[in-house]
Structure 1
Amino acid sequence: MILTVTPNPSLDRTYEVPALDRGEVVRATGERVDPGGKGVNVSRAVTAAGRRTVAVLPLGGAPGALVAALLDAQGIEVAAVPVAGATRSNIALAEADGVLTKINAPGPELSAAEREALLETVRSRSRDADWIACCGSLPRGLAPSWYAELVARAHAAGVRIALDTSGPALLRALPERPDVVKPNAAELAEAVGRPLATVGDAARAAGELRERGARAVLASLGADGQLLVSEAGTWFGAAPVAAVRSNVGAGDASLAGFLAAGGTGPEALASAVAHGAAAVGLPGSVMPAPADLDPAAVTVTAEVPVDRPLKEPVS
């Protein structure tokens, strides 16, 4: 079972538009409403893969009730922590050329009692978990050290933990030795404080996160592929994508594929790449099912192309 923790979930509305023109009336060609938040997306992808998951998340107000109802309709078990503030609503505008514009609301501020209730819910529901996946930004009321405390508690209980966050929350958690961290290229560059221009730059940056405490780093490099850097070695994986429809949740689908395949080694990386490549071809934040995957198109190699320029370098 994979337990996911989403401290700042959302109700996500995605509109597909021909083009985004400021100051003009833009008529959408498609619309979706989905339960959102990085950990929520991981649970949705794990469920689509036929694995059991439990989603722990603070929920409040009418948007929170709708998030719970949408997850229930998808067969996902929800461990809700009631909060006084309303769950945030986010908007994504997906243009026909693949450009995505996101408007993310800040979300409610959690009280001290709500913070402790969230930690206690994770503790009580993680007893039979193979992995805990902690994902996304922290809401107001949670200090950057909150994820570090959660990693420490998980390890004390003997549970492996994956962390997908950024900024101070990521850096504060590294000394607690999360079993895997999953930054994208921008988050990786931010963590090491320098630009990334090549695959080799990204591999070296991932190695630095390991030196700071992460046991493994699964780095999403967008159209360039993914890297896995661990004690056992470094691997690079990629797969062709015919057309990008929406990259919302693609990184979350990758993490779900990685954990569902065991969370270690090149086989898990191949699963992550297959899930990520499938996700970008789906509308909104739809998570890929097994029928959407093309494992044969995935290549994984220990010969990392260190000199290959990134298609989307990070300054």
Structure 2
Amino acid sequence: MIVTITPNPSLDRTYELSELARGEVNRATGDRLDPGGKGVNVARALTAAGHRTAAVLPLGGAPGRLLAELLHRQDIDVAAVPVAGDTRINVSVVERHGPLTKINAPGPQLTAEESAALLGAVRRQAAGADVDWLACCGSLPRGLAPEWYADLVAEAHLGGARIAVDTSGPALLASLAAGPDVVKPNLDELAEAVGRPVATLGAALDAAERLRELGAQQVLASLGADGMLLVAEEGSWYGTAPVDEVRSDVGAGDASLAGFLGAGGSGPKALASALAHGAAAVRLPGSVMPIPADLEPDTVVVTADVPRELPLGR
């Protein structure tokens, strides 16, 4: 079983447009409402793939009730922690041949009591003997210190569970000292964490090794259209998965993490699964998570011969 923790969940409203015209009335060609937040997306992708999951998240107001209802419809167990503030609503605008525009709300500010209740809910879920992984994902809401994830990592290890952390900035750096089993930065987050540009695959490999020196046991780096990189004590692997047309990349990294954890959470086979899930996700609308029928594993290429000179972010 895999338990996901999303301290700052959301409802995700996605609008599809032919082209966004700033300052004018735009008419959407399609729209959808999905449960959101990185850990929520991981839980959705794992459930779609047939894995047992539970989602721990703070929920408040009418948006929180709707979010819980949407997750229940997808057969996801929800461990809800009631909070006074309303759950946030994020908006994404997807242009057919243009960039993705996102507006992320800050979310509610958690009190000390709500923070303690959230940690208690995680403890109760993690106490199960069949829990293989905890996945802590996304930004921390106002009211939680950057060290909150680090405390969670330490508690998970005391209970015998492995833990993945997918966050950024001070929260990511603080978690490293506690030794998470895997961290999953994207290219920008990797560069921010090491304080230097990451323009080639070799630079990404060096940056990932630096995160391992700081405490991460594995680094699963999302490189966007350039693929993914896995760096661990056992070795380093680089992989790609072709995508003919990107429909939406909202939640693609979360689908990748789900694929990685669902395939065991280590080694080249798990990296291949991460790539297949991420590639499938970008071919789907909004933040729809892929099902097994959406995957194209035969198109994934993984190698231990990492091409260090390959430029990134082209």
SS in 1 for 2:109: coil
TM-score, normalised to structure 1, is 0.98
For 1:150 and 1:222, locate their aligned partners in 2 and report how far apart those are by CA, in whole Å: 28
Q: Secondary structure at the match of 2:207?
A: helix
* 2:14 alignment partner AA: T
Match of 2:180 in 1: 178
Q: Is 1:124 paired with 2:124?
A: yes
Match of 1:19 in 2: 19
**Residues 1:139 and 2:134 aligned together:** no
2:40 aligned partner: 40
Distance 1:70 1:311 in 2: 35
SS of residue matched to 2:312: strand
1:127 CA displacement? 2.1
**Cα drift, residue 98 of structure 1:** 4.6
Equivalent-residue separation in structure 2 for 1:151 and 1:308 (angstroms): 34
Within-5 A mapping of 1:291-306: 291-306=293-308
Give the Cα–Cα distance (whole angstroms) in 2 for the partners of residues 127 and 242 of structure 1. Answer: 43
Deviation at 1:110, TM superposition (A): 0.4
| 1:223 counterpart (201, 222, 225) | 225
1:37-83 residue CA offsets vs partner (Å, 9 max, x unmatched)? 00000000000101110000000000000000000001100000000
Count the aligned residue pairs.
Answer: 312
Q: Give the aligned residue type for 1:240.
A: P
Structure 1 position 311, deviation (Å): 3.4
Partner-residue secondary structure (3-state), 1:310: coil
CA distance in 2, matches of 1:213, 1:58: 28
- The equivalent residue for 2:281 is 279
Q: Distance in 1 between matches of 2:55 and 2:97?
A: 33
Q: Is the 8 A contact 1:160 1:179 kept in 2?
A: yes
Paired with 1:144 and 1:97, the residues of 2 have a C-alpha distance of: 37
Query: What secondary structure, in the 3-state scheme, does the structure 2 residue paired with 1:56 have?
Result: strand
What's 2:262 paired with? 260
1:211-250 aligned at under 5 Å gives the runs 211-250=213-252
Match of 2:310 in 1: 308
1:58 counterpart residue number: 58
Runs of 4+ in 1 over 3 A off after TM superposition: none
- Check 1:98–1:243 CA distance in 2 against 1; reply closer, same or farther (3 A cut): farther
Conserved? CA contact 1:63–1:88, under 8 Å: yes
2:223 alignment partner AA: L
Partner AA of 1:288 in structure 2 = P
Residue 85 of structure 1 corresponds to 85
The Cα offsets for residues 220-270 of structure 1, whole Å up to 9 and x where unpaired, read as: 000000000000000001011010000000000000000000000000000
CA contact under 8 A between 2:19 and 2:98: conserved in structure 1? no
Instruction: Give the letter aligned to residue 13 of structure 1.
Output: R
Letter in 2 for 1:73: R
Residue identity over aligned pairs, in percent, reads: 71
Does the 8 Å CA contact 1:98/1:245 hold for their aligned counterparts?
A: no
Which residue in 1 is equivalent to 2:5?
Answer: 5
Aligned residue for 2:177, secondary structure, equals: helix
Contact 2:150 2:175 in 1 (8 A): yes
Give the letter for the 1:85 counterpart: G
TM-fit CA distance, 1:99: 1.3
Give the secondary structure class of the aligned counterpart of 2:67: helix
Hey, what's the Cα distance between the residues in 2 that align with 1:228 and 1:261?
14
Could you tell me whether the CA contact under 8 Å between 2:88 and 2:108 is conserved in 1?
yes
Over residues 173-196 of structure 1, what are the superposed CA-to-partner deviations in whole Å (9 max), with x where a residue is unaligned?
Answer: 101000000000000000000111
Deviations 1:113-137 (A, max 9, x none): 1000000100001123100000000
- State how far apart, in whole Å, the 1-side matches of 2:189 and 2:137 are: 13
- Answer whether contact 2:44 2:289 (CA < 8 A) is retained: yes
Deviates more, 1:33-42 or 1:90-99: 90-99
Q: Which runs of 5+ in 2 are unaligned?
A: none
AA aligned to 1:208 is R
- The alpha carbon displacement at 1:139 in A equals 0.3
**Secondary structure at 1:219 match in 2:** strand
Q: Distance in 2 between matches of 1:231 and 1:237?
A: 18
